[in-house]
Amino acid sequence: MDSIFAGPHRPTWCCDPDLPGRGVCGFTLIEVLVVMAIVSALTAVAVPSFRSMADSLRLTAASNAFLAHLYLARSEAIKRRGRVVVCKSPDGLACAASGGWEQGRLIFHDANNNGVLDAGELVIATEDRLQPGLRLTGNQTVARYVSFDAMGTTRLVGGGFQAGTLTLCRQALAPNEARQIILNALGRPRVHKVQVDACM
């Protein structure tokens, strides 16, 4: 049998008929099985770690995109000296009264201060729904909309201060990593990394 190491530059440790057991190049069955076992063990450890890292990056990207829209709405309210609203919207044409924030959102200049997009009101930006498997829900005060006034503070349609927390997580029954977008009464949002018991 010809060897890949044939010729004058052949290593002395392989295919050397003068050395015991070195007449044929190759791996023994034991060596192949050991390598396969090591590769399997490394794969079993690495794949969950890569999946966890990918999920974390998805959460970070989605929470940062939402945070950027809140800052955009706040700056637009100050610039326009009037109320600007961020609301849930599956189509970018109207605010949704039900469902979570993962269905999409829109930002508009709320000229009549009623918290919904009416005919003639300017749409500033829209965002499509989040990636499949992600959920974004707000507690009672920010469940439907976030509204900034001309001073850049968040206020409910009725005039009261609006502060609350929106939780972004990967849908699962088991505990997993999440992001909380926390909005204070001054209209300044921030993102906080947390663990949740479940995400539904």
pLDDT tens for 82-124 read 999 999 999 999 999 999 999 999 999 999 999 999 999 999 9
User: What CATH number was assigned to the domain covering residues 59-196?
Assistant: 3.55.40.10
Q: What is the mean pLDDT of residues 170-187?
A: 93
Sorted by where each begins, the domain ranges of the chain are: 59-196
pLDDT computed for residue 62 by the predictor: 96
Q: Which residues of 131-159 are buried (b: 16+ CB within 10 A; e: fewer)?
A: eeebbbbbeebbebbbbbbeebbbbebee
pTM above 0.85, yes or no: no
* Residue reference for tokens 């849908």: 171
Question: Do the beta carbons of residue 136 and residue 165 sit within 8 Å?
Answer: no
